[in-house]
Amino acid sequence: MAPKRSILSALQATSMVESKPVLPAEILASILDYLPVSDMIRFAKTSRRMREMVYDDTRWVARLKSMGCWDELEARRRFEDAMKRKRETMKRASIAGQSPVSARGANTTIFDAALEAERRNKAIEEAAQPPDIRVDGFETLSINAPPSKSPFEDPEALLEVLKNVRSIRGHARQEYGKIYGALAPFYFDLVQAKSHTDPILFRVFRDPERQAQMLANLHTFTKSDWAQGWREREEKLSSMSHVFESAVLREFEQGYEFWDVDGRMKRYAHVLHALNGGTPAIDLFISKHPIFNDREVLANSMDCVNQAARDEITLEPSQKFFDTLSKKLGEQNAVMTRIFPNPATVFWSLVDKVREDIIMDYVTPLLDETHERHLASYLKAASGLFEQCFAFAKLLDAPAGSEEKLEEKLEDRAKETALKVFEPHLDLYLQEELDFFTKHAEREVGNWDQKLSEQDATVESFYMKNFNRQADKNDFLSSFKKVVMMPVTVLPNIPLSSPFGGGKPAPASAANSSSRRPVSITGTPGSSRPQTPGLGTSSERTGTPLPTEAPPTDELKAKAALMASRLEGIKTLFSIEVALDLVHSAKTSLGRAAVFMRLGGQAGGEAREQCEAIFVVLLKILGQSHIKHGFTKAVDHLSYYNPREVSDHNQAGVAPLVTFIELVNVGDLISQMIDVFFDQQMLAPKIADRNDFLDPAGLAKKKFEQMLDESVAAGLNKGIDVLMDEVEYLCATIQLPTDYNPLASSNEKGISQGPDIGPTQTAKRIVELVSSHTNMLVGSTEKTMLDVFNGEVGLRLFTAICKHIKRQRISTDGAIKLIADMNLYFDYIRTLKNNDLQAYFKALRELSQIYLIDAKHAKEMATIIADGDRFGGIFRAEEVYEFAERRADWYQVKRDVERAMYGLECSVM
């Protein structure tokens, strides 16, 4: 009997071997993606952990996504619905007093009742099947034997297997198993076939429609084949499909030859559509379409040039061409609908071919020819043909029942078609359009300037033709002596203090002599819209407005007349007609270029930028070259004005200043015209954006308005000089010495009988003159500029009046007249509603009171002179003292006034 061995001996004989996996789990999971499905099932049987790795839902979701059979939105919706039902069940269980566990056991609708019923039926079916062929998720797959070649019981269900796939989280493996079980046998059988007759697919499905559908399913299924050798299997499937496609395409072509629309063409077009979308059938149908050989469609684009006048173009033949082409394409809708399952795709493919082979062959030669012949015709042709092409594409009648019937789709199609036709010509056209307008604008402004120069030269030649200008230049000293030694009567109304005045006044006979009558330089206020001097026909341009009388024989008179002509010509230095012509040309160019904005995208953006460039060029040429240049000349002409050379000063205003204000009115009209143009032609079509402070058009408009304001301000500044010269002239010539210092006897000449306490005629004339000019600017100038102008006029008027008072001798009796004049000036200034100016003239009115004080009240006079607060800080005591020196009795009261002022100073100290 063998000795009994100890139980520990067995344990001692056991060798302890540590077992660890050779590869990490992450690498194993990655390798699984490249295994055949049958190997993955075997791998899942090895262990629980391997089974979890294989059954991971994300692995099968990825395969479904590769075939396009997974809808994430549907999966999320199903999951949210299931969770919602679960929460409702838990809520009902809590209300009923049951525990969640018992509720789950008692109720099978925690998730989806229909899904649970399907699972129970599926479990019963699996129990009835032999256990050796039932693998979870792959019921129809035998992993030990090659795929069976026998047909399935329901072949039609196999064709729809991809459409019946559901996106359910946690069940992706089962859904993929249905696809694999249905398509894998056909797939592996086909890739192993030697010829096109071997695959079981063509024996199970006898008609070409179902064969094409199954081949299409296999092409989808091969996207989930990631195992080794997938490329060879995919090429084999593609080769077999190509053989099938060629055979079907031959049948379709034979039907096309016999025009069997409802027979073979329709049948095999549907077969090819089921196979791969039907592209070969579409290409064949379009390539052999009779429209490309239709003589009625293949028109000659040169008819647009040949049927028009010289250097012109007519677009009637092109419109007829597009109408005919549209009619022909519309007739194909019914045919395409009868043949193809996707007639819209075929229709737009045909349109693309027509666009490439017919429309571009029509448009390109015409644009090239017109560009070489005449630029204006080219611009008209490019814009007109684009509009016709865009309208043609937009009005195409797409097949019924197509999404292309939607307005948005048709608009996009029209943009695409028109862009492809005109994209090669777009950059050249936009640049030529801008250059054409620029040259036209520069030419019109240049013609205007040239005409003005010729007119000035003609007028100067007319007045100065009796004088040898070259001799005067060669002998400057003799010419200067001749002018200086001329009789005084030639220089009208020149005071004795003038350097050209003599020691004695001219004799009356000489003053009344017609041969020595002063030249009258007057300007008649005319229309605020001056006519263009000769920008009409060629016959009109040759004529220059010249005086009807003979030119003066006296050089000074000729110079005065020439100056009068130039001052009168201020209002024609720029013209509203030229502005209208430029604006009309810009509108035409913008109208042609703006149609390309319909393209949208980059092309539409380029067209919009070019439209803005046209507007910028308009403002640049109209503003800088025309208006600003005119204002500069006007300011130069105003600087030549001398009131002493004018014989008629009885008008309501200064003639050259009135003329300049008319020029300002013309500038204001042009500015308003630009505003209307900007609103209608730039903002309405959305070329410019008012809210974009960096928009080029808006910046150019602001710069134009700034230039206009600066030019008007410069002119008005010079106009103020002219106005003040006229005011000083009136003060020097019209103001009588006896106005402020009347003679003792009332019977003296020039003094009316009885007391007269009203203002003098000089003050009335000055107020009338100044107010007429300030009122002229109301309504034509911005309020800010008008306020500045009025303020400057008021200050300059204040200065002129102060200078005038310092030149007068004012008695106590004449102080009444002076006070009346100051009150008149103050009343006028008050109408300007400028508080600062009112302070100046109020001080001036207070100042006039010192002349009313009697000589025996020297102390009161001294008190007023020394009271700085009385004049609001406008006048210092020294300045008031200077005004007091103009009293007629100053030398009588001077000592008393100074003594009183000294006493006041001592008392203050």
Could you read off the pLDDT of 342-360 as tens digits, one per residue? Answer: 888 888 889 999 999 999 9
Among residues 870, 824, 872, which one has the least CA distance to residue 850? 870
Q: What is the mean pLDDT of the chain?
A: 76
406 DSSP assignment? S
User: Which residues, 6+ apart, have CB-to-CB distance to 690 below 8 Å?
Assistant: 683, 698
At 456-482, the pLDDT tens digits run 556 555 545 555 544 444 443 444 334
- CA–CA distances in Å: residue 462 to residues 40, 557, 640: 112, 13, 20
- C-alpha separations of 868 from 87, 374, 799 in Å: 95, 79, 19
Alpha helices per DSSP H over 734-760: 737-740
pLDDT in tens, 414-427: 888 899 999 999 99
* C-alpha distances out from residue 621 to 556, 628, 708, Å: 38, 10, 13
C-alpha–C-alpha distance, residues 210 and 214, integer Å? 6
Which residue is it, tokens 């096309």?
A: 256
Note the pLDDT tens digit of each residue in 79-127. 888 888 888 888 888 887 655 544 444 443 334 444 555 565 665 555 5
Q: What share of the chain is helix, strand, coil (3-state, %, to 5)?
A: 70, 0, 30
* Dihedral sign computed on CA atoms, order 44, 47, 50, 56: positive
- Tens of pLDDT, residue by residue over 6-48, are 666 665 665 555 555 567 878 888 888 888 888 888 888 888 8
Question: How many Å from the N-terminal Cα to the C-terminal Cα in the chain?
Answer: 156
Q: How crowded is the C-beta side of 428, counted as CA atoms within 13 Å?
A: 14
| pLDDT tens-digit readout, 480-539 | 334 434 443 333 333 333 333 333 333 333 333 333 333 333 333 333 334 443 333 333
- The DSSP call for residue 735 is S
- Cα–Cα distance measured from residue 908 to residue 866, given in angstroms and rounded to the nearest whole number: 11
- Give kind and range of the element (H or E) at residue 45: none
Domain locations along the chain:
263-425, 555-710, 735-742+757-902
Three-class HEC string of 64-126: HHHCCCCCHHHHHHHHHHHHHHHHHHHHHHHHHCCCHHHHHHHCCCCCCHHHHHHHHHHHHHH
pLDDT-derived band of residue 723, with 50, 70 and 90 as boundaries? confident
What's the fold here for domain 735-742+757-902? Methane Monooxygenase Hydroxylase; Chain G, domain 1 (1.20.58)
User: By CB neighbour count within 10 A (0-12 exposed, 13-18 middle, 19+ buried), where does 400 fall?
Assistant: exposed
